[in-house]
Structure 1
Amino acid sequence: MRYPITALMGAVMLAGCGGGSSGDAATGGTTVAPTYTAGVYNDENQYKNYCASPRSGKSPYTGETYPDRQGTLMHEQMFLRSWSHRTYLWYRELSDINPAGYASAEDYFDVLKTSGLSESGAKKDKYHFSEPTSDYEQSNVSQVVGGYGIEWAIRATKPPRQVYVGYAETGSPADLAGLTRGDLVLTVDGVDVVNGDTQAVVNSINAGLFPAKVNETHSLSVRTLGGVTKTVQLRSADVNMPLVRNRQVLTNSKGGKVGYVQFNGFSAPAQADLISAVKQFSQQGVQDVVLDLRYNGGGSLALSSQLAYMLSGPNVVQGRLYNRLTFNDKYPNTDPVTGETLSPIPFYTKEIDYNAGKLLNTDLPTLTLRRLYVLTTGGTCSASEALVNGLRGVDMEVLLVGETTCGKPYGFYPTSNCGRTYYSIQFKGSNAKGYGDFFDGLTPATTPALNAEVKGCKVTDDFSQPVGSISEGLLAGALYHSANGSCPVMQQAVAQATELASPVPAVGLGLSIKTSARPLQNEAVIQPIN
């Protein structure tokens, strides 16, 4: 049986590779565009891999030959239309839009989503995006990220925006320019980051915070926690950004051993480092673990399952499921992408060959913990939330220390076509108890009263101290609770408290900036495995 697992390579796409076309397939392509007819949705495979500008050769990341053949822009757009109508979770809320008039497949894809709102009034689909397939493939084989070496902590995406430096990688362009944790960005290339509210301004902010290429130069003006304003010039580069960081064994005030690890993304290259961390914690006899997911936007559900198993062990899991997926009403019992009977995602107990998409025979190490503390902010999303929710489903004691998470119980199969990889919401996940309705996030509470509330302590991300410091607010709060079984009264830095007193506008007011260079990091991603 094949189980859902993380997306790996763009070459291993799941919606079919080939099929017929409205042109002469025997010649390998066609320049005759298919015709749009309202209400008629042909099999997407009639259009797949027929490209306006077909690639040639092999992918440098997967070694696979590109499947592209000559087609037209309309082929690419009609593929997206049929594929979305068949697999999109909220397909009933899609308008049937004629692709004519859209300048690119990407532009057309951007409108193939619901405009509906959640119960809280937020946009239901905040996760729809696409990216170059080369970026997607590279992310699955490397921890190298193009940019400045900054993990942004974006606390408000709309005016008045709050864009902080979460941390700067040692030796990165940001580090060498003197940027450090807690710096608040005021302008990018002279554009007002805090209050600017035109689309041109938003585009400039996004371009400056998340450069598309290496060797781009941008000017950032920041205010430090000490109140000093300075301007720096940054040149983007390929920067190694380890996903597993600051691994250490600490001692709480009562002498208990506590393992701590910062984990910033559920991506395949992190598997070995997570296994190493768990082995270290086991060898040193930790009682509790503090898992720092404050800047972890999500990623692989399979790796999320593996980590959840390593932190809980067989005595807690007892063969129960990790996550159950629900697709649209066309597919109550069948996975619309694989065509197989739906089966839940288990707690994976083995190592995984992510390149081949196969379980190995090597058992994962496990811990026997008293408690698991998870450090959270609004940047804790999707596969990170699935870990918390999945462990709650098997009654492991998980405590949140920090802030409400982002609220993304959804995911998708990345699907590549003609050099672009598309992400369209296809499923909702729930735990062994059937709960998955944390649309507005999971919230730490000393006495939980709602399903979306998790036992724990509310603490604000403390920019006055380095991540991983025992004096930093979130980690200090977890260590205090580990020793005393109660939440501390936290005293945040005065400078930080002043900044965070700025009001965050109501949902729907103002234009939003991006929160990540690669939105894939903010989602739950799956792929079948044998």
Structure 2
Amino acid sequence: MLKVLHTAALLAALVGLSACGGGGGSGPGNFNPPSSGGSSSSGPQWQAGVYAPESELKNFCESPRSGIDEFTGRSFPDKAGSANYEKLWLRSWSNDTYLWYDELDDIDPAGYGVLEYFALLKTSVRTPSGAFKDNFHFHQDTAEYKQRTQSGVESGYGIEWKFSAVSPPRKLQIAFIEPGSPADVAGLKRGAEVLEVDGVDFVDGGDVDAINNGLFPSEAGQSHDFVFETVAGERLDVTMASADVQITPVQNAQVIETEQGRVGYVQFNSHIALAQDQLIDAFELFVNENATDLVVDLRYNGGGLLVLASQLGYMVAGDANTNGRTFEQMQFNDKYPSRDPVTGEQLTPLEFVDKRIDYDRFVETSQNLPTLALNRVFVLTTGGTCSASEAFINGLRGIDIEVILIGDQTCGKPYGFYPTDNCGTTYFTIQFTGVNDKGFGEYSDGFIPTPTPQFPADVQGCMVEDDLTLPLGNPQEGQLMAALDYMGSGSCPEISGVQGLSQKVEPAGKGLQIKRPDPRYRATILENKLYQQFGRYPGEPQ
């Protein structure tokens, strides 16, 4: 019998973004909400401790939109209102659905613009590291947000960049390249470093607009000139035209012979539906080749479908470890202990899914997934390991699978939100968290690989640099070599160039900074594209 999956359980499109450095804000690389204009005093008024129902305030706009929404084909819901309506709606909405509503000060909105007021509607409590607990509270123009989330794949060259320094002297290298992409056709390889963009000195040049336009083309068919330095020290002049690149989420699946036995390795870059069959093929290879250990390379995986992460968890751990256990449970604030306040659905745990899923119909099929039934897995990580990738780590830890992290601190995204439009602005405010079978989900600083774990989000493992001098999947590449070494020694390797520092982008120095898309924001765009694919836009009528 086919089992229908709940939308909320199926998607990590709702998995939000939290503290892992940087600030909050309105777009990639800039999460500080800008100031709004003055506000009108007309309409409903603030009264301390009294909250009007949000439904009575929503869509009453200071500048209502008119006509037909091109994305929905329906009339805009806006009605003539005022800035006070918009601010008091934000206040009531936050008081109702914000995960930490009881940590908000009830601030009189008078004297604040709408977006300035929204910036105040978040907790000021900090994590044990000193970072703000809510470090991802932002807004975006609704038309821009919908354009990005509904437009399919983004244009580019098929390059995953590694940003080491965004201000002079800047440093930017290629982390990996999508097969068949413009960068692949141009002969570029992992580790190549950018020297020039459209004739502008990348390292110290001042024309950051030209650099950003070249690195981040706005649409397909834009041609730009680059100069790279390869790992071997050769200068490479390349002209590339941007294209809509089809990603290959699963790459380099192989079995490596070691003194300890056969080890499966798979590079997994994105939790999208396309990855399901590729992961099945990889695990069938591992099973057929009798792999007894496994390395899952998630260092560039920013998230996606949460249910796919649960499938991957099952393929690692098997029936005995996962039967009847929770992969992830959504939790809202204490006003909604058993019901999703946005969808109205009863909260049910997402278990470890052991069947292939028909993603076109949202149903499990009768086809069993392959599994290695392991009690231990090695995971390669960087600051770009986000969201569903972190849920995979957390879900396995919740059923006592030994997870050993090799690499860097993950980005930290245990919280979630439903992007909600009001009067032409889409607001993102944290509304839920995801916890594992043990009820743990507080990793807002990210999971931290450490030889001597002391805190709940510390994970046994080693801080190891992302070695760009060798291809991914090469057993001599730094992180993979460290994982293989650990299997034999049970400890972090003491090898020059392998045990390295945390891979954080260097703080801004003097000079102009280029753009650096925040990995958490990039994950949000991907995940909300998936929500668009599988369900209605949150906050809109059925």
Structure 1 length as normaliser, TM-score? 0.75
Indicate the larger mover: 84-93 or 304-313.
Answer: 84-93
Shift of the alpha carbon at 1:473?
1.0
Shift of the alpha carbon at 1:205?
5.7
Contact 1:288/1:369 (8 A) holds in 2? yes
Of residues 209, 212, 218 in structure 1, which corresponds to 2:215?
Answer: 209
- State the partner residue of 2:96: 86
Local SS of the residue matching 2:274: helix
Inter-partner Cα distance in structure 1 for 2:504 and 2:524:
29
Contact 1:146/1:213 (8 A) holds in 2? yes
- State the partner residue of 1:462: 467
- State the partner residue of 1:310: 315
1:133 aligned onto 2:137: no
1:306-385 to structure 2, matched below 5 A, reads: 306-369=311-374, 371-385=376-390
Inter-partner Cα distance in structure 2 for 1:205 and 1:89:
39
Contact 2:385/2:411 (8 A) holds in 1? yes
Amino acid at match of 1:363: N
Of residues 7, 10, 34 in structure 2, which corresponds to 1:6?
Answer: 10
Consecutive unaligned residues of structure 1, counting only runs of 5 or more, are 11-33, 60-64
Inter-partner Cα distance in structure 2 for 1:257 and 1:334:
46
Of residues 268, 274, 282 in structure 2, which corresponds to 1:277?
Answer: 282
Indicate the larger mover: 418-427 or 430-439.
Answer: 418-427
- State the partner residue of 1:25: none
CA spacing shift, 1:348–1:137, aligned 2, 3 Å: farther
Amino acid at match of 2:174: V
Local SS of the residue matching 1:258: strand
Shift of the alpha carbon at 1:460?
0.8
Amino acid at match of 1:356: R
- State the partner residue of 1:166: 175
Indicate the larger mover: 68-77 or 147-156.
Answer: 68-77
Inter-partner Cα distance in structure 1 for 2:112 and 2:318:
54
Give the fraction of aligned pairs with identical amino acids, expressed as a percent: 42
Inter-partner Cα distance in structure 2 for 1:417 and 1:235:
38
1:179-190 to structure 2, matched below 5 A, reads: 179-185=188-194
Local SS of the residue matching 2:8: strand
1:26-37 to structure 2, matched below 5 A, reads: 37=45
Inter-partner Cα distance in structure 2 for 1:411 and 1:349:
25
Contact 1:401/1:478 (8 A) holds in 2? yes
Amino acid at match of 1:264: N
Contact 2:249/2:275 (8 A) holds in 1? yes
1:238 aligned onto 2:240: no
1:453 aligned onto 2:462: no
Aligned residues: 484
Shift of the alpha carbon at 1:208?
4.0
CA displacement, residues 347-402 of structure 1 (integer Å, 9 cap, x when unaligned)? 22233333433333433332222531111111111211111111111111221111
Shift of the alpha carbon at 1:461?
0.5
- State the partner residue of 2:267: 262
Shift of the alpha carbon at 1:449?
2.8
Shift of the alpha carbon at 1:243?
0.8
Shift of the alpha carbon at 1:262?
0.6
Contact 1:246/1:262 (8 A) holds in 2? yes
Inter-partner Cα distance in structure 2 for 1:318 and 1:134:
41
1:287-302 to structure 2, matched below 5 A, reads: 287-302=292-307
- State the partner residue of 1:114: 122
Of residues 518, 523, 526 in structure 2, which corresponds to 1:515?
Answer: 518
Inter-partner Cα distance in structure 1 for 2:183 and 2:315:
34
Inter-partner Cα distance in structure 1 for 2:13 and 2:412:
26
Indicate the larger mover: 148-157 or 35-44.
Answer: 35-44
CA spacing shift, 1:336–1:489, aligned 2, 3 Å: same
Inter-partner Cα distance in structure 1 for 2:151 and 2:358:
16
Of residues 60, 73, 77 in structure 2, which corresponds to 1:66?
Answer: 73
Inter-partner Cα distance in structure 1 for 2:185 and 2:80:
44
Consecutive unaligned residues of structure 2, counting only runs of 5 or more, are 15-41, 537-542
Inter-partner Cα distance in structure 2 for 1:172 and 1:471:
26
CA displacement, residues 160-185 of structure 1 (integer Å, 9 cap, x when unaligned)? 76432111224422234454322334
CA spacing shift, 1:389–1:148, aligned 2, 3 Å: same
Inter-partner Cα distance in structure 2 for 1:212 and 1:176:
20
Contact 1:185/1:220 (8 A) holds in 2? yes
Contact 1:299/1:521 (8 A) holds in 2? no
- State the partner residue of 2:407: 402
CA displacement, residues 117-159 of structure 1 (integer Å, 9 cap, x when unaligned)? 54434353236465543543455xxxx5421110122345677
Contact 1:409/1:438 (8 A) holds in 2? yes
1:458-497 to structure 2, matched below 5 A, reads: 458-492=463-497
Inter-partner Cα distance in structure 2 for 1:213 and 1:385:
31
Shift of the alpha carbon at 1:303?
1.4
Local SS of the residue matching 2:373: coil
Contact 2:167/2:508 (8 A) holds in 1? no
Indicate the larger mover: 410-419 or 212-221.
Answer: 410-419
Local SS of the residue matching 1:331: coil
Amino acid at match of 1:518: R
CA spacing shift, 1:8–1:327, aligned 2, 3 Å: closer
Inter-partner Cα distance in structure 1 for 2:79 and 2:504:
50
